[in-house]
Amino acid sequence: MDNPFKKILHNEELPQVLKKKVLDDVAVIKLSIDIADLFVVKYPNAIGDLLAGGGEADFDKKNKNDQTE
């Protein structure tokens, strides 16, 4: 297999095919991180809040108490 970096240095210009492959790989990695964050961090936090009885109802009660004081 030919080393694509030697071609880049030789031509001093990045081939569009290689540039597209790199950008696509970066996009896939970013998407994977976002999906992992959604299911590993945000989803469990939301379920924990629901099971603990937290949510808008508790937030509204707190606001009403603050307004009456």
CA distance 38 to 43: 6
> In which region does residue 51 sit, left (phi positive, over 0), alpha (psi from -120 to 50) or beta (all else)?
alpha
CA distance 44 to 37: 10
pLDDT by residue, tens only, the chain of 69 residues: 677 777 666 656 778 898 899 999 999 999 999 999 888 888 888 888 888 886 565 555 555 656 655
User: If DSSP states are collapsed to H, E and C, what string results for 25-54?
Assistant: HHHHHHHHHHHHHHHHHHHHHHHHHHHCCC
